[in-house]
Amino acid sequence: MSSDWAKLCDQNLDLVLEKLVASSDYLRFSLVCKSWHSAAKDYQRRGKMSTFDHHPPMLLISTGKNGIWRLYNVMNDRIFDLKLKLSNKRFCGSSKGWLIAMDKSFTVTLTNPFVRAKGGRMKENSIIRLPPLIPQDPDDLVGWAHAPNYFLLKATLSADPILDANNCIVLIIYEDQCQMAFIRLNKDPTWTYVYQHWNGIEEVVHVEDSFYAVTIRNYLIGFDITSQSNSDEKLVAKRRAPDHPQKTYLVNPNEKELWMVHKHIDIEDDKTQVTYEFKIFELDYEKGKWSAKKTLGDVALFLGDNSSISVLASKFPGCQPNCIYFSHDDTRVAHDVGPHGPHDFGVYNVASGSFHFGVFNITSESGTCIRKLIKKSRSPPIWVVPKIQL
């Protein structure tokens, strides 16, 4: 007795879609027939595909040739055949599937390289150009004209700028005093600059309806961006004892927790950076204090110039739990990746305190392909969570 798969009811198709993990699985599902494509598209429209749990992080790597970037899946140690033509410049953030960069006119640009029209070209709405950045003191821009993509330290999004534009806020951290600015898509014609007494911002993360930012001295600030296009700031947690990390990351693994990760780096004479330690802390919201965290449990972290990503390792075959996957990112001390290309990348095992440098899939026998590809690059690789549009 044959089955008519095209006539399965929506409820049954939703049960299948709930079990899918990778974006490629959704794409294959949508290609079965018209009714399945319609079901997958409706599933995406309802926001069911928006969580990180359904999209394993991948590493986007510049080949150093004609702005071509390649995609690497750390779970199965595979470099995809897909070649993405972008640029050779550094991306200062990736969030919600979008890459964030700054051009020579200090214009912030959002790019989704995975939204393609027929013929392989990027769709018109896959590139969004925001107003130029003009700080209160224009002299801040002096000296950065040769490398504007490094003037922008970090950037993140609160929502997808196409699927949820009315709730999308672009928040950036910029030199020279590491201050913040934000713009609300479809609402603000220009950037709003956060000029209050907080500066030296190291990292920012969006959690539900709020943003949290941590300073170089480890003060944690919480703030809401209101309908009047300003920010209501408050001190959430005071500084810890001096730890002097070279990089700090904020991660929200779920709606209830906020973690801070310190990355300690040695800078050698030739400005070569080498990570030698990670320290993890968890926030006690009621006490306003950080406490040391000794294990991530089933969680794996993906840290770099991207918005920090956390996933449940058990949902992705090949993903190592209780580990930190880290890429060569900007330290403000050694902007240049060096003559030998990006090299400070690998996996850190929290339980053992051990590093696997130059390899992401620690079960792989060689890992030589990924090392060779990254070595040719002159731009730091960046973690992305590809999001398809059906």
Kindly state whether residue 11 falls inside one of the protein's structural domains.
yes
Q: Tokens for 303?
A: 């840290």
Query: From CA 272, how far away is CA 334, in angstroms rounded?
Result: 7
Element (H, E) at 349: strand 346-349
> How many other C-beta atoms are found inside a 10 Å radius of the C-beta of residue 242?
8
The answer to whether 272 touches 343, Cβ cutoff 8 Å, is yes
Q: Based on the domain organization, do 69 and 30 belong to the same domain?
A: no
Measured CA to CA, the distance from residue 378 to residue 67 in angstroms comes to: 11
Residue whose C-alpha is closest to residue 336's, from 346, 347, 344, 326: 344
Question: Which percentage of the chain shows pLDDT scores above 70?
Answer: 80
Last residue of one domain, picked from the residues 49, 65, 84: 49
Which of 9, 28, 49 is where one domain is finished? 49
229-271 pLDDT tens trace: 555 667 788 766 567 778 899 999 987 899 999 999 887 766 6
Quick one: 214 and 268 in the same domain?
Answer: yes
Residues 273 and 344 in one domain: yes
Going by pLDDT thresholds of 50, 70 and 90, the confidence category of residue 205 is very high
Residue 390 lies in a domain: no
- If one compares 216 and 52, the residue with the highest pLDDT of the two is 216
The reply to whether 296 falls in a domain is yes
Domain annotation covers residue 82: yes
Average pLDDT rounded to a whole number, residues 344-369: 79
DSSP 188: -
CATH (domain of 90): 2.120.10
Q: Do 4 and 115 share a domain, yes or no?
A: no
Question: Which domain does 286 fall in, by range?
Answer: 50-384
Please indicate, yes or no, whether residues 123 and 43 belong to a single structural domain of this protein: no
Residues 70 and 125 in one domain: yes
CA dist 257 and 308 (Å) reads 14
Same structural domain, 267 and 366 = yes
Q: Does the pLDDT value for residue 116 go beyond 60?
A: no
| 1 confidence band (pLDDT: 50, 70, 90) | very low
Mean pLDDT across 164-178 = 89
220-225 and 354-357 strand pairing: unpaired
Tell me: do 140 and 158 sit in the same domain. Answer: yes
Number of domains the chain is built from:
2
The pLDDT value given to residue 197: 63
Query: Which pLDDT value is given to residue 337?
Result: 61
Q: What percent of the chain has pLDDT over 90?
A: 28
pTM of the model: 0.84
Q: Do the domain assignments include residue 5?
A: yes
**Residues 36, 54 within the same domain:** no
State the burial class of residue 136 (Cβ atoms within 10 Å of its Cβ: 0-12, 13-18, 19+). Answer: exposed
Which residue among 49, 64, 88 closes a domain?
A: 49
pLDDT tens string 282-324: 999 889 999 999 999 999 999 999 999 999 999 888 899 999 9
Strands of the sheet with 231-237, listed across from one edge = 201-207, 210-215, 220-225, 231-237
Residue 389 forms part of a structural domain:
no
Instruction: Return the closest-CA partner of residue 200 out of 234, 176, 177, 171.
Output: 177
Q: Are residues 45 and 188 in the same domain?
A: no
**Residues 62 and 31 grouped into a single domain:** no
Residues 253 and 275 in one domain: yes
